[in-house]
């Protein structure tokens, strides 16, 4: 398989046209057309269907282009890494759940980044997106969160996908709310006490690959009839600070974060469901010095905040 032919196919897929791809690549259109046909013959698949609307990817073509894009990206990275006279760039990328102890670990870890060229990526999202990011090589590391009840299901799935994993923490969710919330001074909070209030929830729950009906039943609480669904972690602080009827279930957090927004953290007596945070990476991935430094900071943060 010719890498140049692969580049042509990716550009045709991007632009949806042989003529536009030819103009973009400064290559004669017949040469690109011939290369696509040779590539299809080599692979034994049809990559594009030709129509009046242009070049449209077939299902097999979409799968091939996804692989081709990842291969070409890795080739570019290798060329950049070993190009003569180019300084080696520090690289770190991770996808994580929205959690205070993890973001604080990342802030501490950032002090380990040395002088010189560096590319550091930190993304907060749900577990399914994290798994996809690691599989697609968009992130070197990921942290996924799920209820311990699903431990075997998740580990079987990770094994099937060729991902390595290590447990970081186990914890019960706690409640956070403004210090002036009606429940803030209550000695013992039960889930039934939450019924009159507004729950803030992230709109993309963490449990990966569950059917949506089961996911909603299992992962979104029914302690109240009033919900605000958000994606951005920053907005939750505005809501909790300004609307004293709101509360949120979170992993244990730090006094520093709570004090910054005049919040309090409270356990819920009848909340017994244990969650796990697990770090994942591709089995062939060799942990870099930055990877190891982050994991060290993460473990230290966990010990401070999760008992």
One domain for residues 255 and 281: no
SS3 at position 10: helix
Contact 117, 87 (CB under 8 A): yes
Under the banding of pLDDT at 50, 70 and 90, the label for residue 82 is low
According to the model, what pLDDT value does residue 207 have? 57
Query: Which of 82, 99, 115 delimits the end of a domain?
Result: 82
Q: How many residues does the chain have?
A: 307
According to the model, what pLDDT value does residue 25 have? 87
One domain for residues 241 and 298: no
According to the model, what pLDDT value does residue 306 have? 87
One domain for residues 265 and 301: no
More confident residue, 86 or 212: 86
Cα separation, 199 vs 215, in Å, equals: 17
Q: Is the pTM of this model over 0.85?
A: no
One domain for residues 163 and 281: yes
In this structure, what CATH number is given to the domain that contains residue 47?
A: 1.10.10.10
- Residue labelled with tokens 């580990």: 155
Which residue range forms the structural domain that includes residue 114? 90-169+276-305
DSSP state of 274: E
Contact 279, 295 (CB under 8 A): yes
For 44, counting Cβ atoms within 10 Å of its Cβ (0-12 exposed, 13-18 middle, 19+ buried), the class is exposed
One domain for residues 236 and 112: no
According to the model, what pLDDT value does residue 213 have? 45
One domain for residues 64 and 209: no
One domain for residues 281 and 263: no
In this structure, what CATH number is given to the domain that contains residue 193?
A: 3.40.190.10
According to the model, what pLDDT value does residue 140 have? 94
The proportion of the chain whose per-residue pLDDT surpasses 70, expressed as a percent, equals: 91
One domain for residues 38 and 158: no
According to the model, what pLDDT value does residue 222 have? 66
**b/e map of 105-140 (b: 16 or more CB within 10 Å)?**
bbebbeeeeeeeeeeeebebbbbbbbbbbbbeebbb
Maximum CA extent, the chain? 77
**What average pLDDT does range 66-82 have in this prediction?**
82
According to the model, what pLDDT value does residue 249 have? 95
User: Model confidence over 178-211: pLDDT tens digits?
Assistant: 999 999 999 899 999 999 999 999 877 655 555 4
One domain for residues 110 and 185: no
Under the banding of pLDDT at 50, 70 and 90, the label for residue 215 is very low
Of 165-169, 190-194, 223-227, 263-267, which gets the smallest average pLDDT? 223-227
SS3 at position 220: coil
User: Model confidence over 282-306: pLDDT tens digits?
Assistant: 998 989 889 999 999 999 999 998 8
One domain for residues 179 and 267: yes
The answer to whether residue 212 scores a pLDDT higher than 50 is: no
According to the model, what pLDDT value does residue 137 have? 87
Q: Cα separations (Å) of 280 from 46, 141, 158? A: 35, 6, 8
Instruction: Work out the mean pLDDT of the chain and round it to a whole number.
Output: 88
Query: Which of 82, 112, 137 delimits the end of a domain?
Result: 82
One domain for residues 96 and 57: no
Domain count along the chain: 3
The answer to whether residue 56 scores a pLDDT higher than 80 is: yes
């Amino acid at each position: 398989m010719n890498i140049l032919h692969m580049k042509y196919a990716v550009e045709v897929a991007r632009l949806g046209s042989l003529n536009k791809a030819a103009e973009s690549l400064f290559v004669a259109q017949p040469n690109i057309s011939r290369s696509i046909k040779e590539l299809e013959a080599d692979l034994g698949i049809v990559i594009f269907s030709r129509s009046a609307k242009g070049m449209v990817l077939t299902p097999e073509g979409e799968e091939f282009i996804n692989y081709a894009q990842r291969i070409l990206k890795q080739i570019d990275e290798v060329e950049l890494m070993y190009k003569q006279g180019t300084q080696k760039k520090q690289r770190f990328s991770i996808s994580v759940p929205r959690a205070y102890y993890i973001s604080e670990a990342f802030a501490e870890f950032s002090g380990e980044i040395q002088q010189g060229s560096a590319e550091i990526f930190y993304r907060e999202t749900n577990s399914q997106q994290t798994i996809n990011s690691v599989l697609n090589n968009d992130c070197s590391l990921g942290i996924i969160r799920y209820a311990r009840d699903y431990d075997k299901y998740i580990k079987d799935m990770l094994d099937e996908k060729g991902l390595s994993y290590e447990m970081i923490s186990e914890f019960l969710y706690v409640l956070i709310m403004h210090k002036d919330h009606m429940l803030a001074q209550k000695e013992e909070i039960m889930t039934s006490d939450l019924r009159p209030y507004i729950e803030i929830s992230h709109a993309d729950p963490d449990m990966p690959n569950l059917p949506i009906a089961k996911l909603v039943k299992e992962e979104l609480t029914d302690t109240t009839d009033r919900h605000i669904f958000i994606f951005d972690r920053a907005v939750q602080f505005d809501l909790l600070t300004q609307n004293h009827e709101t509360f949120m279930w979170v992993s244990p957090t730090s006094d520093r974060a709570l004090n910054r927004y005049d919040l309090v953290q409270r356990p819920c007596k009848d909340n017994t469901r244990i969650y796990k945070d697990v770090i994942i990476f591709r089995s062939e991935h060799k942990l870099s010095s930055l990877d190891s430094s982050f994991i060290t900071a993460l473990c230290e943060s966990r010990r401070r905040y999760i008992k």
